[in-house]
Structure 1
Amino acid sequence: MNTHNSIAEGMGLKIVIVVQARMSSNRLPGKVMLPVLGKSLLYRMIERLKQVRHEVQLVVATSHKGDDDIIEYESLKMGVPCFRGDLNNLLDRHYQAAKAFEADIVLKIPSDCPLIDPQIVDNVLDVFMADGGKYDYVSNLHPATYPDGNDVEVMTIDCLKRAWQVAVKPLELEHTTPYIWENAGRFRIGNVSWETGLDYSMSHRFTIDYEADYQFIKRVFEELYEANPEFTCTDIINLLEAKPGIYNINAQYAGVNWYRHHLDELKTITAEQTKIPAV
């Protein structure tokens, strides 16, 4: 039996990965449906998440808005169930999706991470599962060290429910988990750092929010996918070192993230953990 599977099964826990996706995006509308090698970015991301070695239930969570019908259709084509909920309250949508699929452990992996390395997902889950009951929440984001776009947050359903019950700030509802990691005294929180000892969180950008990000991600898939559909974060780093022109496609946005809009509200995030886009 796969050792990853046996850990979860031995503890009698159901692990649900919730991928939040919607067509509305201020900077790059419909980004999750942009094509890469004949399939959508959402398809490519789910394809990668299916490589996770832990036994998990994948769920795509979108909104009730008609524009997001295409997200549901795409999910079902991939054999992944789709949950539909509130458009703007992603904390509620995440919790309701996790509850609907009877999750004991919930993962938050945003749909703007189509290059996410499934090995990193497994690493974070391994830490969470290693000492059963030790943590309420484990991520690789506080502080972040992996290249941006490998975002993994793992929490118990009870942890997520507590946040859902008490969170009220708009940023807490929009971004799902800030209430948890901003209130470390109320939760048992762990963090996973990149085993290399490197910190590429502000220098390497594998996420999608701008047209340049799409061109970068598309190029990475074109370079690596045919030879190895299960290419890793290390494979991408090696590619960028061999072909720095690819790195430069979206380098101007490296380090740009949503934190920049909320520095006056967030207690645990500093100005050094985000930057304003140059253009």
Structure 2
Amino acid sequence: MSQKILIVVQARMSSGRLPGKVMLPLLGKSLLARMIERLQMSKYQPEIMIATSVNPDDDILEKEAKHIGVACFRGSLNNLLERHYLAAIRYGADIVLKIPSDCPLIDPRIVDHVLDFFFKNEGKYDYISNLHPATWPDGNDVEVMTMYCLEQTCRLATRALELEHTTPYIWENPDQFRIGNVVWATGKDYSMSHRFTIDYQEDYEFIKRVYEQLYFKKGCFSCEDIIDLLIQKPDIQQINAEYAGVNWYRHHLDELSTISARQTKIIHAQ
């Protein structure tokens, strides 16, 4: 394929709820390394770049990128949109994927599925995701955009949430971009009931259990493998069940016209 595909994995050590979460151990490697391992299983063999900040606390992530053998870009701590864009410029990307570093259970088959849709409809879309609406379990986030789309977004976005979360300007301006969405072919929607992402200690315990149960049986275990495991051992799903549906949208419902209260869960104690 002549087009250069880049996955940008934004990562930093200063997570508010679970500091240093991307460097937590997971079967002898860091959580970040395990996530990169899964992304490298994509049939498209994209370049993968860890994009972190220039904050000294994130020096460890540059070292980890070198250890893993992937590229690293360092930029603004708080303007993640700019960091994402400059990382793509550095690589000379044509197609850019945003996949957050809090998705260590991401299924590479889902990444491929979204990319398949994008390339089967080449020239028809500026941006494709599996998030609007989301149907797969939380933690399988894939957003694909053209370099033109990312460049325009970086030039025009001004609100704090747009700079922090990279792509909201795109979803909020369908008149400016050709936007598409891919849903789970099963017809199911587990986006609010199943949580495969990491933001809390309970998420980490859940992810560890999944890896311990599945990794040595089937290295490239799938989303369906995890769901089957949870059916067989519902106690594992209960580890972080109280946070199912909790995401960053809950803080910005009054600012996002494309997100409804049904797409998030508010924890009143926080």
Range into which the TM-score falls when normalised by the shorter chain = over 0.9
Q: Which residue of 2 aligns with 1:209?
A: 199
Letter in 1 for 2:196: F
Secondary structure in structure 2 of the residue aligned to 1:207: coil
| Mapped partners of 2:61, 2:184: distance in 1 | 32
Equivalenced residues, count:
269
SS at 2:175 equivalent: helix
CA gap 1:37/1:55 in 2 versus in 1, 3 angstroms: closer
Could you tell me which amino acid in structure 1 is paired with residue 68 of structure 2?
M
CA distance in 2, matches of 1:25, 1:229: 28
TM-score w.r.t. the length of structure 1 is: 0.95
Q: 2:3 aligns with which of 5, 13, 23?
A: 13
**2:107 is the counterpart of 1:135:** no
Which residue of structure 2 aligns with residue 6 of structure 1?
A: none
Partner of 1:86: 76
Cα displacement (A) at 1:55: 3.0
Q: 1:25 aligns with which of 15, 18, 22?
A: 15
For normalisation by structure 2, the TM-score amounts to: 0.99
How many Å separate the matches in 1 of 2:268 and 2:140?
A: 23
Matched with 1:63 is 53
Misfit runs of 4+, over 4 Å: none
Q: Distance in 2 between matches of 1:250 and 1:52?
A: 28
Q: Is the 8 A contact 1:32 1:41 kept in 2?
A: yes
Do the aligned residues in 2 keep the contact of 1:252 with 1:278 (CA within 8 Å)? no
8 Å CA contact 1:89–1:174 kept in 2: the answer is yes
> For residue 101 of structure 1, what is the amino acid of its counterpart?
Y
What corresponds to 2:150 in structure 1? 160
Aligned pairs for 1:151-230 within 5 A: 151-230=141-220
Q: Report what 1:233 is aligned to.
A: 223
Which string of whole-angstrom CA distances, capped at 9 and with x for unpartnered residues, describes residues 73-119 of structure 1? 11111110100000000000000000100000000000000000000
Please, which runs of 5 or more residues in structure 2 have no aligned partner? Answer: none
User: Could you give the per-residue CA deviations for residues 174-220 of structure 1, whole angstroms, max 9, x where no partner exists?
Assistant: 00000001111110001000111100000000000000000000110
% identical equivalent positions: 68
**In 1, Cα distance between the equivalents of 2:258 and 2:180?**
14
Contact 1:72–1:82 at 8 Å: present in 2 too?
yes
Segments of 5+ residues of structure 1 without an aligned counterpart are: 1-8
Aligned-CA RMSD value: 0.7
The one-letter code of the counterpart of 1:267 is S
Q: Which amino acid aligns with 2:99?
A: I
Within a 5 Å distance, the mapping from 1:30-109 to structure 2 comes to 30-109=20-99
